[in-house]
Amino acid sequence: MPIIGVGIDVAEIDRFRAALERTPSMAERLFVPDELLLPSGERRGIASLAARFAAKEALAKALGAPAGLHWTDAEVFVEPSGQPRLRVTGTVAARAADLGVKSWHISLSHDAGVASAVVIAEG
């Protein structure tokens, strides 16, 4: 299958933390409720949230960074195996369909104060 797009992004964890502290409502604009919690029900750590934010930025880049995508129309979730996956709906799903995206590949990481993500859109 052809690669339709690739996106990569990094987020400085402390800067992301400061933004969330400054504007607490930002979390609800960026993430669906399940992304904010671990499977245990505890609140997800800031490094993990920063990586998910980076994934959404990388996803937008993989789609050509069009205007009008909604942050909550892309959800990063984790398979029972621990592998991260993307679930897209609404504006993101529509753009992906227009481009012929059939599957997604995602990788998340955080270390040394930086969270990163790579997203590959495959047709």
* CA–CA dist 39, 78 (Å, integer): 9
**Residues annotated within a binding site for Mg(2+):** 9, 57
User: What residues are designated binding site?
Assistant: 9, 57
The closest of 101, 99, 100, 98 to 87, measured between CA atoms, is 101
Residues β-bridged to residue 37: 43
3-state class percentages of the chain: helix first, strand second, coil last, to nearest 5: 40, 35, 30
d(CA 67, CA 85): 23
